[in-house]
Structure 1
Amino acid sequence: MTIPSAPHRPAWAGRNYTLLTAAAMVTGLGNAGALIAAAFAVLDAGGDSGDVGLVAAARTVPLVAFLLIGGAVADRLPRHRVMVAANTLNCLSQAAFAALVLSGEARLWQMAVLSALGGTGQAFFSPAAEGMLLSSVDGKQAGRAFALFRMGMNGAQIGGAALGGALIAAFGPGWVLAVDAAAFALAGSLRAFLHVRPVARSNGGGMLRDLREGWQEVAGRAWLWGIVVQFSVVNAVVAAAESVYGPLVAEEHLGGARPWGLALAAFGVGTVLGGLLMTRWKPRRLLLVGTVCVFPFALPSAALAVPLPAPALCAVMFVGGVSIEVFGVSWMTALHQEIPEDKLSRVAAYDWFGSVSMVPLATALAGPAESAFGRTAALWGCSALILLLTLAVLAVPEVRQLRRRTGAPVAGSVTDLPDQADGPEPVSRR
Structure 2
Amino acid sequence: MPTSPPVVTLTKTPPPRPPSVLRDTAFLRLWTGTTASGLATWALPFVLGLAVLDRTLSPTGLGLLLAARTAGFLLAVPVGGVLADRHSRRGVVLWSGLAAAGAAPLIAVGLGTSLPLMCVAAGVAGAGQGACRPAFQALTAEVVDADRRQQANAAMTLSVRVTTLTGPALTALLGTVLDIWALLVGIALLWLVAAFVPGAGTRGTSAAPRQHSAFFAEFADGIREARRHPWFLTTLGALTAVIATGYSATGVALPLVSRDRYETGVLLAAATTAYTAGALGGALLMARWRPRAQGWAALAGLAAYGFAPLSLVFPVHPVVVVAAYVVAGFGIELFNVPWFTATQREVAPDRLARVTSLDFMLSYGLAPLGLVLIAPAIDAFGPRPVLVCCALVCFLAPALAALVPSARRFSAVR
Shorter-chain TM-score range? 0.7 to 0.9
Which residue of structure 2 aligns with residue 269 of structure 1?
277
Equivalence map 1:22-421=2 (5 Å) = 22-42=32-52, 44-45=54-55, 51-101=61-111, 105-171=112-178, 173-191=180-198, 199-200=207-208, 202-402=210-410
- Number of aligned residues: 396
Q: Relative to 1, partners in 2 of residues 1:92 and 1:136: Cα closer, same or farther, differing over 3 Å?
A: same
Partners of 1:82 and 1:400 in 2: CA distance: 34
Partners of 2:190 and 2:394 in 1: CA distance: 35
What are the superposed Cα offsets for residues 151-195 of structure 1, whole Å, 9 maximum, x if unpaired? 123213311122112233554544433321111112212036666
Q: Relative to 1, partners in 2 of residues 1:257 and 1:111: Cα closer, same or farther, differing over 3 Å?
A: farther
What are the superposed Cα offsets for residues 355-400 of structure 1, whole Å, 9 maximum, x if unpaired? 1221222111122111211122222221111112112111111112
Contact 2:144–2:152 (8 Å) recurs in 1: yes
TM-score by length of 2: 0.87
Which residue of structure 2 aligns with residue 5 of structure 1?
none
What are the superposed Cα offsets for residues 28-65 of structure 1, whole Å, 9 maximum, x if unpaired? 23332322222332454476655543332221123222
What are the superposed Cα offsets for residues 107-142 of structure 1, whole Å, 9 maximum, x if unpaired? 544433222111111221111111111222112222
User: Aligned-residue CA RMSD in angstroms?
Assistant: 2.6
Partners of 1:400 and 1:10 in 2: CA distance: 27
Higher Cα radius of gyration: 2
What are the superposed Cα offsets for residues 302-341 of structure 1, whole Å, 9 maximum, x if unpaired? 1223244433222211111111101001101111210111
TM-score by length of 1: 0.84
What are the superposed Cα offsets for residues 75-133 of structure 1, whole Å, 9 maximum, x if unpaired? 011111111111111111112223444xxx25544433222111111221111111111
Paired residue secondary structure (2:223): helix
Paired residue secondary structure (1:379): helix
Partners of 1:32 and 1:380 in 2: CA distance: 30
Where relative contact order (Cα < 8 A, 6+ residues apart) is larger, the structure is: 1
Partners of 2:129 and 2:22 in 1: CA distance: 27
Partners of 2:135 and 2:147 in 1: CA distance: 23
Contact 1:13–1:137 (8 Å) recurs in 2: no
Shifted more, 300-309 versus 118-127: the winner is 300-309
What are the superposed Cα offsets for residues 246-276 of structure 1, whole Å, 9 maximum, x if unpaired? 2222222334333312221111111111111
Paired residue secondary structure (1:281): coil
Amino acid at match of 2:318: A
Q: Relative to 1, partners in 2 of residues 1:165 and 1:292: Cα closer, same or farther, differing over 3 Å?
A: same
Tell me the percent identity: 24
Partners of 2:108 and 2:295 in 1: CA distance: 43
Partners of 1:56 and 1:201 in 2: CA distance: 39
Amino acid at match of 1:60: T
Partners of 1:339 and 1:194 in 2: CA distance: 17
Partners of 2:260 and 2:342 in 1: CA distance: 42
Which segments of 5 or more consecutive residues in structure 2 lack a partner in the other structure? 1-18
Which segments of 5 or more consecutive residues in structure 1 lack a partner in the other structure? 1-8, 407-430
Partners of 2:208 and 2:78 in 1: CA distance: 21
